[in-house]
Structure 1
C-alpha cells in the first residue's frame, strides 16, 4: 500500500487546519494510507528535535508533505529543528526518490510565505526527493483554487485567525494530487534506489 505522511508544526491551529485538509485530500485516493505527524513542543529537547518514532514513520512513507506557519519569512523554529534532525538521513540519501510537497500559512497576504515553501522544496532536494507543486494557475481556476498564486505549494492566509476556504480547498487538492502521483509512480522510483 502507498503511504503518504503529512508532517507539520502548528501553534495557533491554522497550519493544522491546512494539514487536515491535505490529509482529507490524500484520503480520497483508494489504496493510499495517510499518516498525520504533528511536531510537538515535547519533541524538542534543548533546541533539538528528538522523536525517533516519528522519523521511522517518515522513513517508511512513499511521500512526505511538509507544513509550517510562516514566521518572520521562514519556517517556524520548531519545524526547522525537525528539518535539522533529518540530516541523519541526508548522508545516506535515505529519502531519495520519495515524493514531497508543502504548505504554509501566514497572517499577511504576502508575508513572504513563498520563502517558507522554497525552504521546504530545498529541504526535499537535499534529500533527493521529488517535489510536487500545484498544477493550477493562480487566480484562473473556476473553483477558486490557488487564489494566492503560489505554484510551488499551498500558501494560506489567515488575517482573522481563520484560514480562507479557498486555501483549505487548495490544500485538499494538493493532498489528492500528491497521493495520485505517488500511488502511480512510487514503486517504479523505489526500484531505482
Structure 2
C-alpha cells in the first residue's frame, strides 16, 4: 500500500504518517511517497501497489498545486489503465474548520475514478455533533468521503489535532482491511475460474 501525499508546511505529512501507521496496524506493508519529488522508483511502487491513499492540503478550495501537478503526470497511466481496480482513498487538511475540504476530497475521488480505482470512504459517523460529544471524537469535523483535518495555519506540524490524527489512523486501517478483502476475493475468484 502507498500513502502518496503533497504537504507544503508539514501538517499533511503528519496526517500521512498517521494513515501509514493505521494501515501498518492492520498488517499492510506501507510506503510513503512525498509527491513533490517523485522518482522512477516511486512510480514503480505506485504502479505495483494494491492500493493508494492520496493526501493533500486544501488550498483555495481545492487540492494543492503540487498534488495537481502530480495528477497531471498520470495521464498516460490513466489511458493505459495502469491503476485500474486498485483501491483508493483520500485525506486533506486546511486551516479552517470547513475550508472547502469536501471539494478537495471530491477532487481526489474523481481523480481515482478517472483511473478506474475503487474508492473507500471513511466509514465513520460524524463526531462532535451533540451535547455529550467533544472535539476529541473521531471524525470531529463530520466528513464521510475521506478523512479531513483542521490545523491552525501557524501551528507546527506536530500540533495537528489529535482527533484528526486518530481519524487518519482509522482511515489507514480501514483501507488496509478493504484492500486485503479485495485481494483475497480476487485470489479466490481466480482459483474458482482455474478449477472450472
- Fold match, TM over 0.5? yes
String of CA shifts for 1:73-101, please: whole Å, max 9, x gaps.
11111110101111111112111110000
Structure with the larger strand share: 1
The count of aligned residue pairs is 180
Unaligned 5+ segments in structure 1 are 44-49
Computed over aligned residues only, the root mean square deviation of the Cα atoms, in angstroms, reads 1.9
- Conservation of the 8 A alpha-carbon contact between 1:98 and 1:186: no
Residue 174 of structure 1: aligned partner: 171
Moved more, 91-100 or 120-129: 91-100
> In the aligned structure 1, how far is the partner of 2:30 from the partner of 2:48?
12
Between the aligned partners of 1:134 and 1:152, the Cα distance in structure 2 is: 6
Q: Which residue of 2 aligns with 1:156?
A: 149
8 Å CA contact retained: 2:128, 2:141: no
Alignment of 1:1-193 (within 5 A): 4-30=1-27, 32-40=28-36, 43=37, 51-139=39-127, 144-159=137-152, 160-161=154-155, 162-189=159-186
Deviation at 1:27, TM superposition (A): 0.8
Give TM-score scaled by structure 2 length: 0.86
Give the secondary structure class of the aligned counterpart of 2:70.
Answer: helix
Instruction: Compare CA radii of gyration and give the structure with the larger one.
Output: 2
Distance in 1, matches of 2:76 and 2:9, equals 29
In the TM superposition, residue 140 of structure 1 has moved relative to its aligned partner by 6.4
Q: Within 2, Cα distance between the matches of 1:147 and 1:131? A: 22
In structure 2, the CA distance between the partners of 1:118 and 1:189, relative to structure 1 (3 Å rule), is farther
Structure 2's unaligned 5+ residue stretches are 191-196
Contact 2:56 2:92 in 1 (8 A): yes
Query: Scaled by the length of structure 1, what TM-score is found?
Result: 0.87
